[in-house]
Amino acid sequence: MNIPLLNQMSEWNAQFFREIKGRLKTRSVMISVLASLLSQAMLMMVCSQSKCLRYAADRSCAVYDWPFQWSIAFRFLDWCLPFILLVCGVYLLIGDMAKEKGRGTLNFIRLSPQSSQSIFLGKLLGVPVLVYLGVGIAIPLHLLSGIADGRSWTWMLAIYSLWAAGCCLFYTAALLLTLLSNAQLGEQALAGGGGFLASMLAMPYINIISSSWDFYSSTYPYRPDINWFFLPIGSVPILAYGLTMATLLMASYWIWQALNRRYQNPNSTLLSKKYSYWLTASIQVWLLGFLWPFLSSSDRNDLRAQLFFVSIVNLFAFLALIMAISPHRQTCLDWARYRHQQESRRSLLQDLIWGEKSPAVLAIAVNLALTAAIWMPWVLFWPENDEKMAAVGGMLICANLISIYGAIAQLVLLSKFPKRGALATSTVFASLVLPLIVVASSLEKTASLFLIFAVFGGAFFAIGEASAIGIFMAILGQWSILGLLNFQLTRQLRKLGKSHSQALLAGS
């Protein structure tokens, strides 16, 4: 298909022009348009039910009425259209990126003068263009049926903007996962797996958007009182919409940062240490907003139970963060050997906190300290004083365990084993799961000291039964393990810091 406008688009984004030119073929466009129109025609036939208004003398119907079921059409399209956008778009993007990666053309694109942002923006807009076309043709019917079913123009526009924000999040995550995946798996396997995962995640997201009208309508009988800090998002839809959009766009922004960083340098970490601090702060503030209203709750739920929930959420967040900021062996080797040759000399402490290539153990500790600083006012303002010391102790013990997981991961990444990333993930997972298996097998025979010492989150349940000496010994044991791991890590870095010539001279 020869469209003169596309030639003008090439000046704006060459990658977008390349994707559009390869996909907007006459046959492909006709198939997409006909499939959309035929699907809408079948839907309209299903939603049009005949009703006889007057019968003739021979008992045949003389006058028919064909009322159109706008509600059925809207409900179907409200589920079908975003599902096609999310799942088919993810499938196409993963397949396209895996094909580029497998054939080596992705490295060729890296050599082009285009920026990484321009390349990925062109792919996000161009690869699913036929999906956009098919869904776009169905938008008028969806809009008309929604308005006929009682939705307002502003509500419909809000739905479309949430669809777009969801596509932005899903698509950027799909591109990042493809860059991180093993090209030997094959494009079909990657695309199929990504499409299946997208379908599982898309259904709850679409359900939230689709049921929002019923939730905020005056006829909904069981509307919970949900607040984010002092914003009543459970009763004011515009506030809920704003928070949802901000959350989706912020998540897309952080994934976009990791995507561009990994594309520009495949050997770099996904996030810099500076960005990790901002990411941690944004996650903690977002989570704190939902629990802050419990300070004035009449039932005053158990503090330790709520902090246990926060700790579990933070566990998954920090495990992902550990893998995102922990450098691999070659990066640490270059840092250990050539740090003294850098033009802008920083102290070792500054380099460990802010450096791009330095180990991430201290940066993880800074992120944990930042998390504690954000949550500490909430703990101090809690009305029940008896729970505060136990809660603070549980937070400290969980922070120690996360630091240990981070040190273990960094040590494995410094090793000479092949596939160090997968091995580090497996080792940390084993460190997390094995104590749970011990607890599950021994049941009531497990001592509270072991729950505090080795089981993540166990301190919130066992710290009330343990003595002060036992709690101190558990914390001291965690610090001892962390010290040994950091000692081994320092020893490894000093060994890596010695050049080959120094090793030869020392042996001669």
Q: What integer pLDDT is reported at residue 332 of this predicted model?
A: 85
Could you tell me which residues come within 8 angstroms of residue 304 by beta carbon, excluding any fewer than 6 positions away?
Answer: 387, 390, 391, 394, 460, 461, 463
Q: What integer pLDDT is reported at residue 51 of this predicted model?
A: 65
Coil vs helix vs strand at 378: helix
Task: Report pLDDT digits (tens) over 164-211.
Answer: 999 999 999 999 999 888 766 777 888 889 999 999 999 999 999 988
> The dihedral of CA 186, 188, 193, 194: what is its sign?
positive
User: In the numeric block, which tokens belong to residue 332?
Assistant: 């640490």
CA distance 74 to 148: 9
Q: What is the mean pLDDT of residues 273-280?
A: 94
CA distance 305 to 293: 15
Could you tell me which residues come within 8 angstroms of residue 349 by beta carbon, excluding any fewer than 6 positions away?
Answer: 362
Among residues 101, 289, 86, 75, the alpha carbon closest in space to that of 173 is found at: 86
Which amino acid, one-letter code, is at 379? Answer: V
Task: Report pLDDT digits (tens) over 318-346.
Answer: 999 999 999 988 888 888 887 766 656 67
Q: 419: left (phi > 0), else alpha (psi -120 to 50), else beta? A: left
Q: In this structure, how many other beta carbons lie within 10 angstroms of the beta carbon of residue 411?
A: 19
Strands 51-55 and 61-65: antiparallel
User: In the numeric block, which tokens belong to residue 249?
Assistant: 């766009």
Beta carbons of 378 and 387 less than 8 angstroms apart: no
Among residues 407, 404, 405, 382, the alpha carbon closest in space to that of 392 is found at: 382
**Better-scored residue on pLDDT, 302 or 43:** 43
End-to-end CA, the chain = 72
Confidence of residue 1 (pLDDT cuts 50, 70, 90): very low
Confidence of residue 508 (pLDDT cuts 50, 70, 90): very low
Which amino acid, one-letter code, is at 365? Answer: A
How many Cα neighbours within 13 Å face the side chain of 96?
Answer: 24
Among residues 454, 360, 466, the alpha carbon closest in space to that of 398 is found at: 454
Phi, psi (rounded to 5 degrees) for 499: -75, 165
Phi, psi (rounded to 5 degrees) for 65: -125, 135
Beta carbons of 85 and 160 less than 8 angstroms apart: no
Q: 150: left (phi > 0), else alpha (psi -120 to 50), else beta? A: left
CA 495-415-339 angle, to 5 degrees, is 45
**Rg of the chain taking only CA atoms, in angstroms:** 28
Task: Report pLDDT digits (tens) over 153-173.
Answer: 999 999 999 999 999 999 999
Place of tokens 């298909």: 1
CA distance 227 to 452: 33
H or E segment and range at residue 61: strand 61-65
Phi, psi (rounded to 5 degrees) for 63: -130, 125
Q: For the chain, give the mean pLDDT.
A: 84
Place of tokens 């002060």: 468
For residue 66, pLDDT beyond 70: no
**pTM of model > 0.85:** yes
What b/e sequence results for 166-189 when a residue is b if at least 16 CB atoms lie within 10 Å of its CB, and e otherwise? bbbbbbbbbbbbbbebebeeebee
CA distance 168 to 164: 6
Confidence of residue 504 (pLDDT cuts 50, 70, 90): very low
Beta carbons of 290 and 224 less than 8 angstroms apart: no
What percent of the chain shows pLDDT beyond 90?
41
Coil vs helix vs strand at 328: coil
Q: What is the mean pLDDT of residues 250-264?
A: 92
Place of tokens 């359900």: 207
User: In the numeric block, which tokens belong to residue 320?
Assistant: 């992902």
Could you tell me which residues come within 8 angstroms of residue 363 by beta carbon, excluding any fewer than 6 positions away?
Answer: 273, 276, 325, 352, 353
For residue 462, pLDDT beyond 50: yes
